[in-house]
Copies of this chain bind each other. A is one copy, B any other.
């Protein structure tokens, strides 16, 4: 009858045999060095496989603590066929539940943030507390056992103010290790207590993997005029020996600025080792600090800080940037005065919601301490530009004339993302 709260692995439903076979064939013949074949991006069978093997199994970044700071605050996140409520309970702990009433299955909360006392189903008033326990179901027979009908739980945890959930009954075991590595990078910026300055939801007309692949390379960054000025134009150079003559001056300026940054990081105790475990573990990630060009303080048009207060009250505002990638669905940028988080939430094979949040010092006041427009301009424009490119990618791979093409050297992170993804599917197919 499935009424127990144990065994709440919603992704355990099996794919149909015909679906599995198609996925298996294309996973088996995937060719390294080339982009994936079209069905991975366009086909409902493959989307179903992704929802099960990737979004049903792995830790997903879905929100920030700053969105739900108080007891009773909730944020409801929809992705693929799922909907998950994250709530801060009366003890200020995070809890997460599937957004489905245990009676006849009505949706409890709409997508977005809300404040609640208890979770009351709008249909027949079944009432759950913030621990997910069924407190009251009107007009039941005397033998009705409320304790069998608590909400189905979802794993949730915050790492330095970033909220991750996992639908699997047994989440990937390596997340503790990863959390321990990344927490020291983010903790000095105090995102947990930060203020949510802005949030945008952008529906991109492309498969979630095209959204991620687009994020994992700057080969296309000529298409981002607002963003490109922030970076030293040397990101394709991996080796000091290998600098093209026309970039030598720029490269020397970059190396000099980077050395200055390292001094700052050492002085402030900010970790900056570049750690790249993108496709070598289940919870793939990459974290680094690097210098920014220009004023070097922030993602603004001239590189100067957009907010007078630094995150974490750090005593310097020129910190370059802290960047993190997390598989399968997120990326992050932190500068001295603000942080930006990005979460890709699949909607259908050809649609993905990209949710972006901007975080600032908790005492910073809009208008007084920061100009929201100046602070959000670069990444809002960049998101819009990326959405147009992703849509063009989706249109192309839908064409029967598409054949997988070769990655350029500077697309090594795209290939690493794809490696990670294919490995996850292989693991799933073995189950």
Residues of chain A at the chain B interface (Cβ within 8 Å): 1-3, 8, 10-11, 13, 31, 34-35, 38, 81-83, 98-108, 122-125, 137-141, 144, 149, 152, 213, 219-220, 222-223, 236, 389, 392-393, 395-410
- In the assembled complex, how far is the CB of residue A79 from the closest CB belonging to chain B, in whole angstroms? 11
**Residues A3 and B403 in contact, CB atoms below 8 Å apart:** yes
* B-side contacts of A219, CB under 8 Å: 124, 138-139
Cα–Cα distance between A232 and B35 once the two chains are bound (Å): 60
**Residues B400 and A10 in contact, CB atoms below 8 Å apart:** yes
Cα–Cα distance between A38 and B107 once the two chains are bound (Å): 13
- In the assembled complex, how far is the CB of residue A8 from the closest CB belonging to chain B, in whole angstroms? 8
Which one of A102, A152, A236, A408 has the highest number of Cβ atoms from chain B below 10 Å of its Cβ?
Answer: A408
* B-side contacts of A405, CB under 8 Å: 3, 101-105, 149
Cα–Cα distance between A221 and B124 once the two chains are bound (Å): 8
**Residues A107 and B140 in contact, CB atoms below 8 Å apart:** no
Assess A399 versus B107: contact at CB under 8 Å? Given A101-B405, A123-B392: yes
* B-side contacts of A403, CB under 8 Å: 1-3, 102, 105, 152
* B-side contacts of A220, CB under 8 Å: 123-124
Cα–Cα distance between A122 and B397 once the two chains are bound (Å): 15
**Residues B82 and A400 in contact, CB atoms below 8 Å apart:** yes
A400 in complex: contacting residue of B35, B81, B409, CB < 8 Å: B81
**Residues B409 and A141 in contact, CB atoms below 8 Å apart:** yes
Assess A137 versus B11: contact at CB under 8 Å? Given A82-B401, A107-B399, A401-B152: no
Assess A123 versus B389: contact at CB under 8 Å? Given A35-B104, A105-B35, A405-B103: yes
- In the assembled complex, how far is the CB of residue A247 from the closest CB belonging to chain B, in whole angstroms? 12
* B-side contacts of A141, CB under 8 Å: 408-409
Assess A396 versus B100: contact at CB under 8 Å? Given A106-B389, A125-B222: yes
Cα–Cα distance between A407 and B123 once the two chains are bound (Å): 13
Assess A400 versus B13: contact at CB under 8 Å? Given A125-B222, A392-B122: yes
A-B contacts, 11 of them at CB < 8 A, read: A1-B404, A10-B401, A13-B400, A82-B399, A99-B396, A105-B393, A105-B399, A107-B396, A107-B399, A137-B408, A149-B405
Cα–Cα distance between A402 and B101 once the two chains are bound (Å): 8
A408 in complex: contacting residue of B35, B83, B139, B152, CB < 8 Å: B139
Of all chain B residues, the one with the shortest Cβ separation from A42 is B81
Closest 5 CB pairs of A and B: A98-B401, A105-B396, A107-B395, A2-B403, A107-B396
* B-side contacts of A223, CB under 8 Å: 122-123
Besides the contacts A82-B400, A106-B393, what 13 more A-B pairs have beta carbons closer than 8 Å? A1-B404, A8-B401, A35-B103, A35-B104, A35-B105, A83-B395, A83-B399, A98-B399, A101-B405, A123-B223, A124-B219, A125-B222, A149-B405
- In the assembled complex, how far is the CB of residue A394 from the closest CB belonging to chain B, in whole angstroms? 8
- In the assembled complex, how far is the CB of residue A117 from the closest CB belonging to chain B, in whole angstroms? 17
* B-side contacts of A8, CB under 8 Å: 401
**Residues A34 and B82 in contact, CB atoms below 8 Å apart:** no
Of all chain B residues, the one with the shortest Cβ separation from A52 is B400
* B-side contacts of A236, CB under 8 Å: 139
**Residues A81 and B122 in contact, CB atoms below 8 Å apart:** no
Assess A99 versus B399: contact at CB under 8 Å? Given A31-B1, A35-B105, A219-B139: yes
A399 in complex: contacting residue of B100, B137, B222, B406, CB < 8 Å: B100
Assess A106 versus B392: contact at CB under 8 Å? Given A140-B408, A410-B139: yes
- In the assembled complex, how far is the CB of residue A5 from the closest CB belonging to chain B, in whole angstroms? 11
